[in-house]
Amino acid sequence: MPGVAMSRAAARARRTVDRVARYLGEDVHRLREDAGMTRARLADAAALDRTFVGRIEDGATGSLETYVKLAMVLGADFAARLYPNTGPTIRDRHQATILEALLPRLGPNWARFPEVAVRRPARGWIDLVLHDRRSGTVVAVEIQSTLNRLEQLIRWSGEKAASLPSWDAFAQLGAVTAVSQLLVVRSTRSTRALGREYHGQLEASFPAHPGDAVDALAGTRAWPGAALVWVDVRAGAVRFLARR
C-alpha cells in the first residue's frame, strides 16, 4: 500500500537524520572540549543561541548553516554530500514476494531481522539478517530479481555483511561465531545467462551448494557458508531451487 510504504520511508529517513545529528553533535562536543572552549563562548562566536548549541551537542538536528558556523569557529571543515553505497532502496515487486515466501520456510532456530541498517565501513540496508541461535552464525541475506551490476553486487553484499557489527542490535545477539552471506536471485533467462557467464566469480564468492543452504534455512542442517540460491517466481508462487 502506498501510504504504508511512504510512512516506512519517512520513519527510515527520520532515523537516519537522528543518527547523523547525533554523530555531528558528538563531533561538536569533542572539538569544543579539545579547544578548551565553553558552550557559551562557542555559541557567541558562532552567533547562535547558547541553549541551541547545547541541544546540538546533545543530538538535536541543526541546519547546514548551523553546522558550518560551528565548524568555522572550531577550526574544522564541514562537508555534506551524497555518495553511492549499496544501491537504490526502491524495490521491484518480485523482491517483496521472494522475501514473503522465504520467511515461513525458515526453521525455528533462525531469528529474523528484516531491513537492517549498517553504517561502517559500508552504509546501507541488508534485506534480511538471520541469526542461528544454536550455532551463533549470522547470515546477511540479499534478494535480487536482476543482476544488472554483478561485480558491484558481489562487492557491496560482502561489504555490508562485514559491516554488520555496526548494526545497533548486533551486540544483543550474544555470541556470534561467524558472519556469512546468502544471495537469493530470481531465476530468469537473463539472470541465468549472467550466472553462466560469471560462474567463476559467483562460485568463488558463494561456494556453498544451494541445496545445503536450503536445508540449513529449514533448520535441518548447519549453515554451509556463503551461498547463492536461485528462486523460480511464477504466478505469485515462489520455488527455491536446490541446484546451481
- The tens digit of pLDDT for each residue in 215-225 reads 999 999 999 99
DSSP assignment of 162-209 equals: HTGGGSTTGGGG----EEEEEEEEE--HHHHHHHHHTHHHHHHHS-B-
What does the DSSP 8-state code read for residue 135?
Answer: T
Query: Which residues of 178-241 form beta strands (DSSP E)?
Result: 178-186, 227-234, 237-241
Q: What is the pTM of this model?
A: 0.65
Q: How far apart are CA 210 and CA 227, in angstroms?
A: 6
* The three grid cell numbers given for residue 94, joined into one nine-digit string: 518480485
Q: How far apart are CA 139 and CA 132, in angstroms?
A: 8
Q: Are residues 156 and 67 in the same domain?
A: no
Q: Are residues 40 and 102 in the same domain?
A: no
In a domain, 191, yes or no: yes
Quote the pLDDT of residue 1. 44
pLDDT in tens, 3-57: 544 566 777 788 888 888 998 999 999 999 989 999 999 999 999 999 999 999 9
Domain count, the chain: 2
Q: Are residues 48 and 124 in the same domain?
A: no
Q: How far apart are CA 134 and CA 154, in angstroms?
A: 28
Residue 36 exposed, middle or buried by CB count within 10 Å (0-12, 13-18, 19+): exposed
What CATH number did the domain enclosing 231 receive? Answer: 3.40.1350
Q: How far apart are CA 228 and CA 173, in angstroms?
A: 24
Q: Are residues 63 and 108 in the same domain?
A: no
Which residue carries 557491496 as its cell? 156
Q: Which domain holds residue 10?
A: 2-74
Q: Are residues 226 and 110 in the same domain?
A: yes
Q: Are residues 114 and 200 in the same domain?
A: yes
Quote the pLDDT of residue 2. 47
Name the band, by pLDDT with cuts 50, 70 and 90, for residue 85: low
Q: Are residues 128 and 220 in the same domain?
A: yes
Q: Are residues 67 and 97 in the same domain?
A: no
Q: Are residues 25 and 132 in the same domain?
A: no
Nearby residues of 191 by Cβ (< 8 Å), 6 or more positions away: 144, 145, 146, 147, 185, 230
Nearest to 237 by CA among 195, 182, 187, 181: 187
Q: Are residues 22 and 102 in the same domain?
A: no
In a domain, 80, yes or no: no
Handedness of CA 237, 235, 96, 126 (dihedral sign): positive
pLDDT in tens, 110-133: 999 998 999 888 888 899 999 999
